[in-house]
Structure 1
Amino acid sequence: MFSLSNRDRVLVVDDSPDNLLLIQSILEDEDLDLVTVNNGQKALELVAQQPFHLILLDVMMPHMDGFEITRHIRNDPDIPYIPILLITAHAQPSVALGLDIGADDFIRKPVEIDELIARVRSLLRFKHTVDEKNMIVRQREDFASRLTHDMRTPLIAADRMLNLLLQGALGELSEAMQEVLRTMSRSNANLLEMVNNILEVYRYESERKTFYFSRVDLKTVITNVLGELRPLAQEKQLQLQGELPEVPVWLEGDRLAVHRILVNLVSNAIKFTDQGHVTVKLTPVDQEQVQIQVIDTGSGISPEDQLEIFERFRQGKHYNGGSGLGLHLSKLILEAHQGQISLTSRLQEGSTFTITLPLSQTPAQSEEKKVV
């Protein structure tokens, strides 16, 4: 059962003292903390400083009307959601305008007591529902963040111990024991990668990720990625090659984040290619954009899987491991860089992931901190 407990704060905005007094008298038995102001500027100052559960807003006021106040509140990202009830004597078109710019409900003058009370209660119920949902989402995200963060420590420790064992630090191992340890090491590495991806996705989606933007040479980044992953390709007898211009190609971005995207795309291409090649192609599109293509001759991705491949926890049917977060994370990073990613693929013929990024238009400069 709904209860107006803990005295919900309601802001009433009207330039008429008589109207303010009328609303106060109607709502006096509702156990509300009523705050009244007689102009829009005072209302906006209060909303920016104090939390409110509901705003009752007269449409017709001098200097700043109810529509303009509504626009200011809805366009300010720092103001959490507050239901707005418009009080109007206008005809239907003005009601439609108010709802279209962000008001939640309206009531006509002269105000009927029972109707006003019912609409206030209804909007307060809605506000409580929204707040409870947001709290649950925050708790879930915080739990995921803490869990994945705490899981990383034992996984990293296990990875180091397994590597020491494989290196013979504790004595010579039989071939059978080495194979078991290699399997354990691969499984541990996959789990560690999944935990890292979950943690990174949480940081990006909760806007807690910090980027360090600087002038980055994409040619150098791609060359480094190819060098790191070439042993993985050689194990599968694949040709890993780059088609790169002779001159540097400059991007304004976070070098480590861009490196992560390319490692993810190239390692995926190697993972799902059994024969042939994986090619990374860097091509300036024009003076403002550059294109990076990761091309493989692997198993390909079906048309239905291509529709969801960049969504979180989505894997194509050809995937036999992983968390389904790598491509989603890559998409988030690219969006933060004003870039895009797309896919073309045919089953049993291979896939091409295409990245488009804006080129740097500024000379070399020191690193700049940017929060997404």
Structure 2
Amino acid sequence: MSSLSSRFDKILVVDDSPDNVFLIKTILEEEGYTISTAENGVSALTQLETSPCDLVLLDLMMPGMDGYEVTRRIREDMKLQAYIPILLITAHDAPNVAQGLDLGADDFIRKPVTVDELLARVRSLLRLKRSIDERDEIARQREDFVSRLTHDLRTPLVAADRMLMLFQQGALGNLSPQMAEVITIMARSNLNLLSMVNTLLEVYRFEAGRKTLAFQPVDLSQLLEELVGELTPLAQDKKLSLKLELSEDATNTIVMGDRLELHRLFTNLIGNAIKFTESGSVAIRLTSVLWSSKISASEFTASASIKDYVTIEIADTGTGISPEEQANLFERFRQGSHKSSGSGLGLYLSRRIVDAHHGSILVSSELNKGSVFMVNLPIKQ
């Protein structure tokens, strides 16, 4: 037996030749592997749906569904929880196996197979699988840790926020001016930390596939008017002008979306514009136009059946973003060079929200002249 782990490895052999199947099965069973067989591609796919294995040995040239198509379906169509390596088996005079490798196969072996080469390639691919499985398990454990950590952090932060609010309201006695200033700083810092934890939790939910959006008709002009009202005090503190500009065709524009997530998206984008602008203004512009007239299909990920979209632009007169930073702006943990840059998760989360709404988000910026963030969302037909 080649290794103690081989007794736990399940291998599926797919070949339309009973002689080939018998030979490969005999070799592998002598090494302690558990072998199942399939005489064609359809049978192989059916078995994988009900009982996934650790490795597939796949004959390339079979009648009906050949090895190319089986490989493609395993990699593209089947929603397998774990990665399954594919070893192609081909005759010496068969066509080049490059197509199979391009479709997602991991290795190949030519007929007639030799015992040593077959076992070496099987062991190599099983090591690959164990390595990938271990990596995925570490990723799952990390995500679970982040989820538990953010939940555990959120509880005391919320409690601290309530207590600091009581202090500020004088519910626990009058505060001296010095004490009031300290409490204000503490409350602001606590809110920033709570916001960071909430953002991290939302990012985790998207990445773990645990985010469920409640789509409903959303009046964007109404939503943006609410946000301007909520964020105007923040702009006034910095003596900035915050204005909403609605084009005539954008009044009462309806999109299908999750209102809470769209609120989070535009709060983040408008809040960033205010945060990174020291003087001047922040403008929110809402326009509704024919999608093909302004951006290309590659820039807009909505369904081809959707002909119209709405564009929301958030323009500021801030410090701007360098071309180098723009290239990776929407990746996670990509912090800008500005002194007020945060965790690097806000714009990444914004992109995930836009993607979930089948839209696109772009940025245009010039140093010392400001930035424009443009969100394109499909209009409800």
TM range (shorter): over 0.9
CA distance in 2, matches of 1:60, 1:5: 28
Give distance in 2, aligned partners of 1:134 and 1:9: 19
Matching residue's letter, 2:269: L
| CA distances 1:311-362 after superposition (whole Å, capped 9, x unpaired) | 111121114252111111001111111211121222222211111111111x
Q: Indicate the residue corresponding to 2:106 in structure 1.
A: 104
**Partner of 1:301: helix, strand, or coil?**
coil
- Return the letter of the residue paired with 2:239: Q
Q: How many residues align?
A: 361
Residue 227 (structure 1) aligned with residue 229 (structure 2): yes
Question: Alpha carbons of 1:268 and 1:15: their partners in 2 closer, same or farther (altered >3 Å)?
Answer: same
Q: Does 1:50 align with 2:57?
A: no
Task: Letter of the 1:78 partner, please give it.
Answer: K
CA RMSD, Structure 1 to Structure 2 (Å): 1.7
Q: How do 1:210-221 and structure 2 match up within 5 A?
A: 210-221=212-223
For residue 254 of structure 1, report the CA deviation from its aligned partner.
1.1
Mean Cα deviation higher: 118-127 or 66-75: 66-75
Task: Return the offset for 1:161.
Answer: 0.7
Answering whether residue 262 of structure 2 is matched by residue 258 of structure 1, we say yes
Aligned position for 1:316: 336
* Moved segments of 4+, more than 4 Å: none
Q: TM-score, normalised by structure 1?
A: 0.93
Please name the residue that 1:298 is paired with: 318
Is 1:350 aligned with 2:352? no
Structure 2 runs not aligned, ≥5 long: 291-306
Partner SS, residue 311 of structure 1 = coil
> What's the CA shift for 1:98?
1.6
Contact 2:7 2:34 in 1 (8 A): no
Match of 1:270 among 261, 274, 282: 274
Q: Is the 8 A contact 2:360 2:375 kept in 1?
A: yes
Quick one: structure 1 residues 65 and 13, their matched pair in 2 at CA, closer, same or farther if it must change by over 3 Å? same
Deviation at 1:31, TM superposition (A): 1.4
Letter in 1 for 2:151: H
SS of alignment partner, residue 310 of structure 2: strand
SS state of the match for residue 97, structure 2?
A: helix
**Cα deviation digits, residues 14-58 of structure 1 (max 9, x gap):** 222221111122223321111122222221111001121101111
Measure the CA separation in 2 of the matches of 1:273 and 1:21: 73
**Which structure ranks higher in relative contact order (CA pairs < 8 Å, sequence separation ≥ 6)?**
1
In 2, Cα distance between equivalents of 1:95 and 1:4: 30
Moved more, 325-334 or 265-274: 265-274
Which among 156, 165, 168 is matched to residue 166 of structure 1?
168
Tell me if the contact between 1:10 and 1:55 (Cα under 8 Å) persists in the aligned partners.
Answer: yes
**Cα offsets for 1:181-206 (capped at 9, x unmatched):** 11101110111011111111111112
Q: Is the 8 A contact 1:300 1:350 kept in 2?
A: yes
In 2, distance between residues paired with 1:43 and 1:347? Answer: 58
Tell me the distance in 2 between the aligned counterparts of 1:28 and 1:293.
64
Q: Is the 1:59–1:66 contact (alpha carbons within 8 Å) kept by the matching residues of 2? A: yes
Give the Cα–Cα distance (whole angstroms) in 1 for the partners of residues 125 and 346 of structure 2.
41
Distance 1:324 1:341 in 2: 16
Question: Partner letter of residue 182 of structure 1?
Answer: T
How far does the alpha carbon of each residue in 1:213-272 deviate from its partner, in whole angstroms, 9 at most, with x for none?
111111011001101111111112211110013521111111111111110011111112
Structure 1 portions without partners, runs of 5+: 362-372
**1:39 and 2:40 correspond:** yes
Helix, strand or coil at the partner of 1:57:
strand
Of 279, 290, 303, which aligns to 2:283? 279
- CA–CA separation in structure 2 for the residues paired with 1:12 and 1:302: 54
Q: Which of 235, 240, 244 is matched with 2:246 structurally? A: 244
Corresponding residue for 1:338? 358
CA gap 1:151/1:95 in 2 versus in 1, 3 angstroms = same
- Which segment drifts farther, 222-231 or 31-40? 31-40
Q: Report the Cα offset of residue 295 of structure 1.
A: 1.0
Question: Does structure 2 retain, via aligned residues, the 8 Å contact 1:190–1:322?
Answer: no
> Partner of 1:294: helix, strand, or coil?
strand
Given the alignment, which residue of 132, 137, 140 partners 1:138?
140
| Structure 1 counterpart SS, 2:142 | helix
